[in-house]
Amino acid sequence: MSSGKHGWFACLLVLALSVTLTFLFLPIVAIFVDSGPAQLLSTLGDPSSLEALRLSLECSSIAVAIIVVVGTPAAYLLATRNFRGRALAVTVVELPLVLPPAVAGIALLAALGPNGLLGPALQDAGITLVLQTAAVVIALTFVSAPFYVRQAQSAFGAVDRTWMDASRTLGASEARSFLRIAIPAALPGLGAGLALAWGRALGEFGATLMFAGSFRGITQTAPLAIYEQFGTNFTAALGLSAVLVAISGALLLTVKLFGGQAALGRVES
Amino acid sequence: MNSERRVAAVALLLALTLVGCGVGKGDQGSSLTVSAASSLKDAFTQYAEAFSDGEVKLQFAGSNALATQIRQGVRPDIFAAANTELPQELFAAGLVERPIIFAGNRLVIAVGRDAMKVKSLADLSARDITLAIGAAGVPVGDYTAKVLSRLPSVQRAAILNNVRSREPDVGGIVGKLSQGAVDAGFVYITDVEASGGRLKAIELPPALEPHVAYGVAVVKGSAQHKQAETFVAGLLDGGGQRALAGAGFEPPPAGAR
């Protein structure tokens, strides 16, 4: 193969990447160009925007915490054991990824709404979820959990088996090996999954609106506030969008840096 | 090498398809795009199906969200709102042609079919009642605010205290009601009629009832100007008017602009 023949392919790759980057980045740049720093600052002074941001951060943090605590061991099981129905379990975990948010909202109502599958049981127990902050957390957890669990599963899958075997031969229990070997080794992957899940949770709109409704301070997260302002005050909507982009971007970057360092640390030690 | 060629061919094909879709303005030539208030969904869908003067593409959302789209440069051919203020504002801004009023509606309290807790406006301020209303700026929310502003302040505060969700369009309120997520909500009588018996309406005392009128305007610079005018004319007298009446809309209030 001559280099000329590779030349056009390399050009194609560069072209494809340029198109991808321009397409993905231009709208985000436009938010900041259109809003400007003054608008950003005035957003931070607007109580309803601040309340929405606070609620978004709180609810997404709780959702991500639940996902990490339950999802990590679940992903470990999926990654390290072969059992009947494993393929089915993996598919079920991945299903919310391909569900439109509106379907997620309908599904949550059908399961946990007052007229839903578990509605009467919840009612008997005196638990109301719909239109409460708890419903926001449930919606966020539902849509973003797969992002973490999938990533965690492949991170655990990539951990060198010989380390785990060595740890077990040296007398460590499986739980100890999981905590001391598997988790540190998989940390960069877990971090990346966490960032994706958190970002998805921060951006959740459709399922939240349908299942949790939109009420300032209780269920109106930042994306819902943006949509409400879109109809009344476009510049305020732009300002809040910019703040949300900045927060999500910072989150992604932090986790990436942290994950990268963890990876480096592991290689050095 | 063969496979490389194939990759290149596929890439080229994809690129061409993308260009074809993206710049495909030509095929919009004969179809009319209508941005309409959520509450017009059934009536307009029916009218569009019967509209003989070309294909009609409909999009429904809260009137204020649709107006924002137009302010941001989106150009449907027709804008139909659940109030008269939004078309008037866009007209003043030079974005649409002179609006006309084409229908009236009535704001009611809606409850689930089997609901027992709410039987009148007075029940809305009871302690254990939950409500969904339209957000501020959305016509249905503004009409609701008007009704509440005519109540004694104690009653108004008690009702607002029971609100659990402020929805971006009337469809959201209907959804929350039919799922039993709330006990009651303020919607239009046409929404109750469209629910196929899942909801029932409680009328408001005449003194409190807001004046609900729908305005429509042809968007300036519409490429389908003649068709758009035909569509609007049909709302006043013709297929559109029949569809509106069938869905429970009232004729435009007498003496309307």
Percent helix, percent strand, percent coil in chain B, to nearest 5: 45, 20, 35
**Structural domain boundaries enclosing A136:** 46-268
- In which band, very low, low, confident or very high, does the pLDDT at B2 lie, cut at 50, 70 and 90? low
Judged by a CB distance cut-off of 8 A, whether residue A131 touches chain B is yes
- In a domain, residue B252? The reply is no
Judged by a CB distance cut-off of 8 A, whether residue A219 touches chain B is yes
- Shared-domain flag, residues B53 and B177: no
- In a domain, residue B251? The reply is no
- In a domain, residue B1? The reply is no
- In a domain, residue A12? The reply is no
- Token look-up 């593409």 returns B57
Q: How many domains does chain A have?
A: 1
| B163, B125 Cβ separation under 8 angstroms | no
B25-54 average pLDDT score = 83
- Shared-domain flag, residues B162 and B127: yes
Judged by a CB distance cut-off of 8 A, whether residue A214 touches chain B is yes
Determine the distance in angstroms separating the CA of B36 from the nearest CA of chain A, rounded to an integer: 14
Q: How many domains does chain B have?
A: 2
Quick one: pLDDT at residue B3? 54
Quick one: pLDDT at residue A229? 85
Backbone phi and psi for residue B231, each to the nearest 5 degrees, phi listed first:
-60, -45
- Shared-domain flag, residues B111 and B197: yes
Contacts with A158 (C-beta within 8 Å, 6 or more apart), sequence order: A186, A189
Q: How far is CA B189 from CA A198, A211, B175, B201, in A?
A: 42, 24, 15, 7
8 Å CB contact of A213 and B164: yes
When CB atoms are compared, the residue of B8, B166, B180 closest to A215 is B166
- Shared-domain flag, residues B128 and B191: yes
Judged by a CB distance cut-off of 8 A, whether residue A105 touches chain B is no
B20-33 average pLDDT score = 55
The alpha carbon of residue B168 and the mean position of all alpha carbons in its chain are separated, in whole angstroms, by 10
Backbone phi and psi for residue B181, each to the nearest 5 degrees, phi listed first:
-70, -25
- Shared-domain flag, residues B196 and B128: yes
8 Å CB contact of A115 and B180: yes
Judged by a CB distance cut-off of 8 A, whether residue A48 touches chain B is no
Best of A106, A205, A226, A228 to substitute, by most chain B Cβ atoms within 10 angstroms, is A228
Q: Among the residues of chain A, which ranges form H helices? A: 3-44, 47-80, 86-98, 101-112, 119-124, 133-157, 161-169, 174-177, 183-203, 206-212, 222-230, 234-268
A43-74: burial string, b at 16+ Cβ within 10 Å, e else? beebeebbbbbebbbebbebbbeebbeebbeb
Quick one: pLDDT at residue B16? 45
Chain A nearest-CA residue for B176: A210
- Shared-domain flag, residues B40 and B54: yes
Q: Please tell me whether residue B46 adopts helix, strand or coil conformation.
A: helix
**pLDDT-wise least confident of A142-146, A160-164, B227-231:** A160-164
- In a domain, residue A10? The reply is no
Determine the distance in angstroms separating the CA of A223 from the nearest CA of chain B, rounded to an integer: 12
| B110, B200 Cβ separation under 8 angstroms | yes
- In a domain, residue A56? The reply is yes
Residue A52 has pLDDT above 90, yes or no: yes
Query: CA angle, corner A107, sides to A101 and A111, nearest 5?
Result: 145
- In a domain, residue B39? The reply is yes
**Structural domain boundaries enclosing B115:** 107-202
Whole-structure pTM value: 0.79
- In a domain, residue A37? The reply is no
The tens digit of pLDDT for each residue in A76-120 reads 999 999 999 999 999 999 999 899 988 999 999 999 988 889 988
B3-14 average pLDDT score = 52
Share of residues in chain A with pLDDT > 70 (%): 94
- Shared-domain flag, residues B41 and B81: yes
Domain harbouring A129, CATH code: 1.10.3720.10
- Shared-domain flag, residues B97 and B131: no
A232-241 average pLDDT score = 85
Domain harbouring B69, CATH code: 3.40.190.10
Q: What CA–CA distance (Å, rounded) separates B177 from B131?
A: 9
Quick one: pLDDT at residue B18? 46
Quick one: pLDDT at residue B177? 93
When CB atoms are compared, the residue of B8, B68, B180 closest to A231 is B68
| Higher per-residue pLDDT: B56 or A161 | B56
- In a domain, residue A5? The reply is no
- Shared-domain flag, residues B34 and B93: yes
- In a domain, residue B18? The reply is no
Give which of A265, A223, A264 is closest to A244, Cα–Cα: A223
- In a domain, residue B42? The reply is yes
Pairs of residues, one from chain A and one from chain B, whose beta carbons lie less than 8 Å apart: 83
8 Å CB contact of B62 and A231: yes
The tens digit of pLDDT for each residue in A143-153 reads 999 999 999 99
What the block records as the tokens of B230 is 């035909």
Sheet strands side by side (includes B131-134): B163-167, B131-134, B184-188, B107-112, B199-202
The tens digit of pLDDT for each residue in B90-137 reads 999 999 999 999 999 999 999 998 888 999 999 999 999 999 999 998
- In a domain, residue B8? The reply is no
B212-219 average pLDDT score = 96
- Shared-domain flag, residues B170 and B226: no
- In a domain, residue A177? The reply is yes
- Residues paired with residue B110 on neighbouring β-strands, in sequence order: B185, B201
- In a domain, residue A59? The reply is yes
8 Å CB contact of A231 and B137: yes
- In a domain, residue B84? The reply is yes
| Higher per-residue pLDDT: B88 or B255 | B88
